Structure 1
Amino acid sequence: MLDKRISRSEFLALSSLLAGSTLFPSRGDAAPDGGVAPVRGAGKPASARPPDGGVTASAPPSQAEHAWLRRGCTASLAAGSTAEDGAEYVRIGEWMQRQKLSSDVYGSGDFVQAFEKRVADLLGFEDACFMPTGTMGQLIALRIQADASGVRTVGVHPSSHHVLHEDDSYAVLHQLRAVYLGPWTRPLLAEDVAQAKEALGTVSVELPVRWLGGQLPTWEQLTALKRACRERKVKLHMDGARLWESQPFYGRSYADICRGFDSVYVSFYKQVGGIGGAMLVGGRDFIRESRVWRHRHGGNLYQLAPYVASAAMRLDPALAAIPGYVKRAKALTALLAADPRVTVLPQPVQTNMFHVFLRGSPGAYTRQRDRIAREDKVWVAGGFGQTRVPGVVSTELQVGEGLGSLGDAEAARAFLRLLDAS
């Protein structure tokens, strides 16, 4: 019988992996759950069946059945919530009534603007503009900075959201050109900017790097990166989709972390748990122009208040919980990495998210995940992606409110049940 165990040294030796071109998905193929993207066309869901239709080997469960299974779980190791959406909408309305808040008109209103000011102050900037999506906010930031500098090149990490998940919008809509800086295997550093062979108008940095399992540069490396951009007169933008989770690693205020960036975007549905929306922060003139570009992008929703309320009512509790989530992630990854069949990236974990690599096939692990969900009521992974290493798959886990009262040892045991599929 084939030995399914894989040592860390063996895994790291397999074509220079854990990152780099071996895990580089084809454009548009990135798995929505954070696993490395599957081969194009593979794993298409079967036709939807009623939730009680059962799961058989010959008929893979549909997305609707997966959603039904997840809703039936009492704990989750994957990002997202098992809660019913309708209940969240009711909570938003009740919270607004308790706060005696009135709605806005196209983003103009005391409540929306007060929340913008609050986030700007938290991150150490003069002003902020609420955006319906992070993609919109980041495109606007890159466009304004390119127009100001007259240089339309944007330095990015090879795994940047701009180039993997936005259908080339930076190029198609704004005629910007991406320049890859540094290797996939580590975060973007000052030396990558200093050694760039092309003139750069802007550098966009993701903190933390999602496709590296939430890795971050050290404080000294981050400081050097800011200095390198300043010396080259390059604008520095932060893709802070998961910035909130980075604070425990640095042990500094959000304003300290953001100082030296010209603009920052943060998300309100990742980790915070809001129904959507993002914030773009920067200088007063920059934000004034951002509001014009939000209108040009069709982002001036008639009422933003429901999105803002969802973020505002969740932000403080979410930020207070993050240090505990990071602590639990460290304990959980130590338990998982103790099994020689499991490889965790990064190790030690730096935020509350991480990637896990296993030997086997995505289909087998998906079937076993669903079995665990039915039997143990634990959603142990969002999905599994085939890496470019034959026989190695990956999945992304995140410790958050979805884990609930499930203990670390229980969570590890539930996840390791996946290995029964191999």
Structure 2
Amino acid sequence: MDVLRSLSQHSGPRKSPYEVLRRLAEHVTPETRPEDPVRELEERVAGLLGKPAALFFPSGTMAQQVALRVHAERTGRRAFAGHPQTHLHVWENQGYNALHGLTFHPTGDRNELFGLDDLKAVHEPLAAVVFELPQRDIGGVLPEFADLAAQAGWARSTGAAAHLDGARLWEAQTGYDASFAEISALFDTVYVSLYKGLEGVRGAVLAGDGDTIAQTAAWRRRMGGAIVDAWPLAAIALMGMDVNLPRMHEFRDHARAIAHAVNADGFAHTVPEVPSTPLFHVHLPMSRADAQRASQRLLEETGIKLFLYARSNPDPGRCAFEVSVGIGGLEFTPGEVVELIRGLPSRV
């Protein structure tokens, strides 16, 4: 079934091979050399984040595991801490342990942001503390900037590195009265994704001081990530930095308008009630299985993909799905989204 319109940034016409290649052809010229897009991307990201150096990786999974490996070798410590629902633990088959022999301390409650007291309760010397902005799996919520600064400062005061999982840092910045560089200054290393908010195909960039990034380059090669022909991934990401990045506040404002309409309707509700970023969750009074069946029928009948998948809830009669507003999401008015959500039970 072809997706004609999608509220999710991870699917839809803008992600089709034809559309990606069409946009790529507009960016690449006969003078473009294979090394140019990667070098330009690394320089732009380093400059935007205020870091001395940056390095391209073919995946965020590799970038973050390498960052933790280097921090572990620097400190002589094998443990790191992070939110119980951090991507490293939930979505990567514990690669940090299988490949690098690291152990993970889940910190705080799985449904809330962790705080400074939660970090202090970890009684083991840490190589790093991982901070995810926003915390995707609990609704895209953000800590207050002062709290974030205190937590990162505490980590560094103990000899641990403060590492930012900034897969959605481009979106998270809209929730702070601070620049990308001011946010990144709190952290020793910062990872950013190239394919989510920037609508790239794949890839990541890791930024930090020159010595740390030089060490990560060695591990990137060992893990097979020093690919020669990375230029298409970098070139598409550069387009996203030109086109998508300046519109992040627009995406956030539209996300807030959708959330307001959903909450005002009353059938469903959002977490958070007022999104800090373009990312939030919609909670439905339906089982996960029913919501997914209804979503599939909506796609078959209309070509509209409302969400990628439904998330389970401790209450089996309820579930949630993620909304991440980008260029495609602007095509949906808040009223239309409310109608689509309210109509889901009729499609079960």
- TM > 0.5: yes
Shift of 1:367: 3.2
Residue in structure 2 matching 1:185, options 100, 111, 115:
111
| 1:280-307 deviation line (CA, Å, top 9, x unaligned) | 0000011111111110000111211111
Does structure 2 retain, via aligned residues, the 8 Å contact 1:332–1:411? yes
Letter in 1 for 2:20: E
SS in 1 for 2:340: helix
For 2:316 and 2:289, the matched residues in 1 are separated by 14
For 2:337 and 2:286, the matched residues in 1 are separated by 21
Shift of 1:113: 1.7
For 1:219 and 1:162, the matched residues in 2 are separated by 23
What runs of 5+ residues in structure 2 fail to find an aligned partner? none
Residue in structure 2 matching 1:316, options 235, 239, 242:
242
Cα distance change of structure 1 residues 404 and 347 upon mapping to structure 2, 3 Å threshold: closer
Residue in structure 1 matching 2:136, options 210, 215, 218:
210
Match of 1:275 in 2: 201
- State yes or no: 1:135 paired with 2:66: no
Match of 1:23 in 2: none
Match of 1:80 in 2: 10
TM-score by length of 2: 0.94
Residue in structure 1 matching 2:27, options 92, 95, 110:
95
- State yes or no: 1:292 paired with 2:218: yes
Alignment of 1:105-116 (within 5 A): 109-116=35-42
Does structure 2 retain, via aligned residues, the 8 Å contact 1:378–1:414? no
Shift of 1:368: 2.5
Name whichever of 291-300 and 410-419 sits farther off.
Answer: 410-419
For 1:206 and 1:94, the matched residues in 2 are separated by 34
Match of 1:373 in 2: 299
| 1:238-276 deviation line (CA, Å, top 9, x unaligned) | 110011101111021100011120000000001110011
Give aligned pairs, total: 346
Cα distance change of structure 1 residues 201 and 268 upon mapping to structure 2, 3 Å threshold: same
For 1:279 and 1:421, the matched residues in 2 are separated by 42
Letter in 2 for 1:230: R
For 1:111 and 1:267, the matched residues in 2 are separated by 16
For 2:261 and 2:22, the matched residues in 1 are separated by 38
Does structure 1 retain, via aligned residues, the 8 Å contact 2:251–2:330? no
Larger Rg: 1
TM-score by length of 1: 0.78
For 2:312 and 2:118, the matched residues in 1 are separated by 29
| 1:190-243 deviation line (CA, Å, top 9, x unaligned) | 222223222212111111101111011001111111221122221110110011
For 2:308 and 2:128, the matched residues in 1 are separated by 34
For 1:87 and 1:325, the matched residues in 2 are separated by 21
Shift of 1:376: 4.3
Over the aligned positions, Cα root-mean-square deviation in angstroms equals 1.7
Does structure 1 retain, via aligned residues, the 8 Å contact 2:265–2:338? no
Query: What percent identity do the matched residue pairs reach?
Result: 32
Does structure 2 retain, via aligned residues, the 8 Å contact 1:213–1:345? yes
Shift of 1:338: 2.1
Letter in 2 for 1:102: R
Letter in 2 for 1:167: N
Shift of 1:375: 4.3
Letter in 2 for 1:367: R
- State yes or no: 1:241 paired with 2:167: yes
Letter in 1 for 2:48: L
| 1:13-58 deviation line (CA, Å, top 9, x unaligned) | xxxxxxxxxxxxxxxxxxxxxxxxxxxxxxxxxxxxxxxxxxxxxx
| 1:133-174 deviation line (CA, Å, top 9, x unaligned) | 000000110000000000111011100111111111101111
For 1:120 and 1:190, the matched residues in 2 are separated by 28
